[in-house]
């Protein structure tokens, strides 16, 4: 479904701004900041592409997890795979991960949009050359340190009987971690390639990259499950998918659309110094969204067999709405926000940021309500196949997902706020705030494990940290960057919460009734009942928010009108 970031409004021609209008809320008649319509259309189109792409990526991610659990159950093997991923993930974190593109794109975009195209491609050449050398060295170091990392994380891992199984796990963790290490070159250098495409508002290649990667892992899981390769097939599939999707495809699209690269180590080239200044706090900080999975993996290893996989699977489900709504809106709005900053139009910046926040809240709140109400049904539909259907961990996944549900709202909002800082070349403040919250999160997890609290306490700690981080980032963005329409954002949240509560109650009652009459005993019937329940709940949310006169409903009205015209 295309996600469009617009208000339900009446337009009036604004003063002497030829390409902008002033909008008035249909509810309050209070004038909102001027909107650049061409930028709004760009964000709407890009958001639609990225929503579809990230939605498909999340679906493929679920199929990836389904294939893994069906072939290998929720077991020691899947725990080993989940821990093995932390070795390349640590490398990804050390070189900033997503921060690499977030630091690069505003500088590249500023040069590109101020008629300095030659300097922009010079910057690109230097950054790719330097980062390629740095990543190659770090891969070699990580390869050598893999046994130490595996032991550090898995040293306390036990089976269901309480026996330590670290000696059994660690060789497999090291093997799979080393297979995946070269994929980090594709991810990190590919992120720079993709950033140039984002800056030029080309979204097709970025939309394909994660999907190719997931397809590779799915194929690897199936091949591994049916052959002596075993679960090692998954990292081999991931490596293949990363190289094709994150490196070769972006390079092809860049060559096709006219890009320029010449290896260079000219650190004095325009923009290079600024890029590294923006990148430095991201490298030396430990942003909570970047490391929450790594930290959870470490502390989950203090619990028995299967718990690492339980957290990974429930976290993947919880993050699905964030990927579809939060990440897509953030990625779509990012180049536009960067352009407004470059053009010194902070009024348009503030307006775009406000609308982006209101949209993700409108979509994130009902997503959280549905996850809370339908967690058992979702877990069983996605993971209840093959060996996983009999290992007894589906209830643990559903319970953890329900605990995670409230933080879905925060994970949807967080990427938009972070891109808001990055688009104005401010990386120090958000990373410092996020690093502080990471320290608090680690302290909470340490307390939970040291006191012998149940594994669900780690999920509660994640919720607290995520919600606090969003509040802190919102206040900081208002004070240091631009004044956001706080009243409008809070009004959207309040009305969405009322409607989503009613929607969640409808979904919960429908799911309970389905289980009571035994309709969930057959897989196809179970799926159809779930689909009907989710659809009815979504319509309930739509009509309630329409009744509450929420301006965000206008998109769905236009989509339905367009569909009727086509018919």
Mean pLDDT of all residues in 300-310:
89
- In eight-state DSSP terms, residue 3 is -
Q: Which among 378, 405, 221, 398 has a CA at the least distance from the CA of 310?
A: 398
Compute the C-alpha angle 301/302/308, nearest 5°: 30
Q: Kindly tell me if the per-residue pLDDT of 13 is higher than 80.
A: no
Give the list of residues 6+ apart from residue 500 with CB closer than 8 angstroms, or none: 365, 366, 368, 369, 541
The structure tokens 């009108």 sit at: 561
Q: Which pLDDT does position 44 carry in this prediction?
A: 56
Q: Which pLDDT does position 350 carry in this prediction?
A: 86
Q: How far apart are CA 313 and CA 317, in angstroms?
A: 6
For residue 126, what are its two tokens?
């230097």
pLDDT band at 3 (very low <50, low <70, confident <90, very high): very low
The structure tokens 């049904």 sit at: 377
The structure tokens 């009907």 sit at: 532
Q: Are 445 and 458 in contact (CB under 8 A)?
A: yes
Q: What confidence tens digit (pLDDT) does each residue in 37-95 have?
A: 555 555 555 556 666 776 787 788 888 988 998 898 888 888 899 899 888 877 776 56
Mean pLDDT over the full length of the chain: 81
pLDDT band at 223 (very low <50, low <70, confident <90, very high): very high
Strand partners, 36: 20
Proportion of the chain above pLDDT 70, given as a percent: 83
Q: Kindly tell me if the per-residue pLDDT of 9 is higher than 50.
A: no
Q: Are 337 and 386 in contact (CB under 8 A)?
A: no
Q: What confidence tens digit (pLDDT) does each residue in 144-184 have?
A: 999 998 998 888 888 777 788 888 889 999 999 999 999 98
Q: Kindly tell me if the per-residue pLDDT of 469 is higher than 90.
A: yes
N- to C-terminal Cα separation, the chain: 18
* String of DSSP letters for 484-513: --HHHHHHHHHHHHHHHHHHHHHHHHHHHH
The string over 380-411, giving b where at least 16 C-beta atoms fall within 10 Å of a residue's C-beta and e elsewhere, is: bbbbbebebeebebbebbbbbbbbbbbbbbbb
Q: What confidence tens digit (pLDDT) does each residue in 355-409 have?
A: 889 989 999 999 999 999 999 989 988 888 877 766 678 889 999 999 999 999 9
Q: Which among 75, 72, 58 has a CA at the least distance from the CA of 310?
A: 75
Q: Which pLDDT does position 2 carry in this prediction?
A: 31
Q: Which pLDDT does position 364 carry in this prediction?
A: 92
The structure tokens 């549905």 sit at: 370
Q: How many residues does the chain have?
A: 567
Q: Which pLDDT does position 218 carry in this prediction?
A: 94
Q: Which among 271, 296, 135 has a CA at the least distance from the CA of 199?
A: 271
Question: How far apart, in Å, are the Cα atoms of 452 and each of 251, 375, 445, 446?
Answer: 50, 26, 11, 10
Q: Which among 373, 357, 323, 325 has a CA at the least distance from the CA of 500?
A: 373
Question: How far apart, in Å, are the Cα atoms of 41 and each of 44, 46, 532?
Answer: 5, 8, 33
Q: What confidence tens digit (pLDDT) does each residue in 530-549 have?
A: 888 888 888 889 999 989 98
Mean pLDDT of all residues in 98-127:
81
Q: Kindly tell me if the per-residue pLDDT of 211 is higher than 90.
A: no
Q: Which among 313, 297, 310, 314 has a CA at the least distance from the CA of 154?
A: 297
Q: How far apart are CA 504 and CA 509, in angstroms?
A: 9
Q: Kindly tell me if the per-residue pLDDT of 236 is higher than 90.
A: yes
Positive or negative, the CA dihedral 13, 17, 20, 26 is: negative
Mean pLDDT of all residues in 21-33:
32
Give the list of residues 6+ apart from residue 315 with CB closer than 8 angstroms, or none: 293, 296, 404
Q: Kindly tell me if the per-residue pLDDT of 31 is higher than 50.
A: no
For the stretch 471-475, contacts whose Cβ atoms lie closer than 8 Å and that sit 24 or more positions apart, written own/partner, are 472/433, 472/437, 473/414, 473/417, 473/418, 473/421, 473/430, 473/433, 473/434, 474/413, 474/417
- In eight-state DSSP terms, residue 287 is -
Proportion of the chain above pLDDT 90, given as a percent: 28
Q: Which pLDDT does position 28 carry in this prediction?
A: 32
The region of weakest confidence among 26-35, 254-263, 322-331 is 26-35
Positive or negative, the CA dihedral 552, 554, 555, 556 is: positive
**Could you give the dihedral angle defined by the CA atoms of residues 154, 288, 200 and 482, in that order, rounded to the nearest 10 degrees?**
180
Q: Which pLDDT does position 398 carry in this prediction?
A: 92
Q: How far apart are CA 223 and CA 80, in angstroms?
A: 18
Give the list of residues 6+ apart from residue 217 with CB closer than 8 angstroms, or none: 64, 234, 237, 238, 241
The region of weakest confidence among 36-50, 54-68, 301-315, 472-486 is 36-50
Q: Kindly tell me if the per-residue pLDDT of 34 is higher than 60.
A: no
Q: Which pLDDT does position 98 carry in this prediction?
A: 56
Q: Kindly tell me if the per-residue pLDDT of 97 is higher than 70.
A: no
Ranges of each domain in the chain:
73-284
Q: Are 109 and 268 in contact (CB under 8 A)?
A: no
Q: Which pLDDT does position 21 carry in this prediction?
A: 29
**Could you give the dihedral angle defined by the CA atoms of residues 398, 400, 403 and 406, in that order, rounded to the nearest 10 degrees?**
-80
Q: How far apart are CA 73 and CA 385, in angstroms?
A: 9
**pTM of the entire predicted model:** 0.75
pLDDT band at 5 (very low <50, low <70, confident <90, very high): very low
Q: Are 159 and 305 in contact (CB under 8 A)?
A: yes
Mean pLDDT of all residues in 204-227:
86
Q: Which pLDDT does position 567 carry in this prediction?
A: 59
């Amino acid at each position: 479904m295309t996600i469009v970031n617009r208000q339900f409004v009446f337009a009036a021609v604004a003063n002497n701004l030829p390409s902008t209008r002033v909008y008035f809320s249909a509810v309050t008649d209070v004038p909102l900041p001027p909107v650049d319509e061409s930028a709004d259309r760009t964000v709407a189109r890009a958001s639609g592409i990225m929503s579809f792409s990230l939605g498909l990526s999340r679906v493929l991610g679920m199929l990836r997890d389904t294939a893994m659990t069906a072939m290998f159950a929720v077991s020691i093997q899947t725990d080993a795979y989940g821990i093995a991923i932390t070795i390349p993930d640590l490398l990804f974190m050390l070189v900033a991960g997503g921060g690499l593109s977030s630091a690069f794109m505003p500088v590249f975009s500023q040069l590109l949009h101020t008629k300095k195209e030659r300097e922009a491609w010079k910057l690109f050449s230097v950054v790719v050359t330097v980062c390629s050398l740095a990543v190659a060295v770090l891969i070699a170091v990580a390869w050598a340190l893999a046994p130490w990392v595996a032991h550090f994380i898995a040293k306390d891992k036990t089976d269901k009987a309480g026996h330590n199984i670290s000696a059994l796990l660690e060789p497999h963790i090291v093997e799979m971690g080393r297979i995946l290490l070269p994929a980090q070159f594709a991810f990190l250098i590919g992120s720079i390639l993709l950033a140039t495409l984002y800056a030029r508002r080309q979204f097709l290649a970025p939309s394909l990259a994660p999907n190719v990667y997931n397809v590779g892992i799915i194929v690897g899981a199936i091949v591994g499950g049916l052959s002596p390769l075993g679960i090692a097939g998954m990292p081999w599939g991931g490596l293949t998918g990363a190289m094709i999707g994150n490196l070769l495809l972006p390079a092809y699209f860049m060559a096709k659309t006219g890009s320029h690269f010449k290896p260079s180590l000219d650190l004095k080239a325009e923009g290079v110094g600024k890029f590294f200044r923006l990148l430095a706090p991201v490298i030396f900080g430990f942003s909570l969204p970047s490391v929450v999975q790594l930290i959870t993996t470490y502390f989950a290893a203090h619990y028995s067999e299967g718990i690492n996989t339980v957290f990974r699977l429930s976290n993947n489900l919880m993050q699905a709405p964030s990927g579809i709504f939060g990440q897509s809106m953030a990625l779509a709005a990012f180049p536009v926000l960067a352009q407004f900053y470059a053009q010194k139009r902070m009024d348009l910046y503030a307006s775009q940021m406000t609308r982006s926040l209101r949209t993700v809240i409108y979509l994130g709140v009902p997503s959280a309500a549905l996850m809370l109400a339908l967690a058992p049904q979702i877990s069983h539909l996605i993971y209840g196949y093959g060996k996983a259907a009999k290992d007894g961990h589906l209830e643990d996944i559903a319970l953890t997902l329900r605990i995670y549900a409230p933080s879905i709202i925060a994970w949807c909002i967080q990427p938009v706020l972070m891109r808001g800082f990055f688009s104005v070349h401010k990386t120090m403040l958000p990373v410092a705030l996020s690093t502080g919250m990471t320290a608090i999160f680690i302290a909470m997890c340490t307390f939970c494990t040291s006191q012998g609290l149940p594994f669900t306490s780690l999920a509660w700690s994640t919720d607290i940290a995520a919600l606090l981080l969003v509040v802190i980032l919102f206040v900081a963005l208002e004070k240091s960057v631009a004044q956001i329409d706080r009243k409008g954002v809070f009004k959207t949240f309040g009305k969405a919460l009322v409607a989503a509560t009613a929607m969640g109650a409808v979904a919960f009652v429908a799911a309970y009734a389905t289980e009571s009459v035994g309709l969930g005993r057959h897989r196809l019937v179970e799926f159809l009942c779930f689909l009907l329940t989710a659809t009815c709940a979504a319509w309930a949310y739509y009509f309630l928010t329409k009744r509450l006169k929420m301006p965000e409903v206008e998109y769905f009205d236009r989509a339905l009108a367009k569909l009727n015209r086509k018919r």
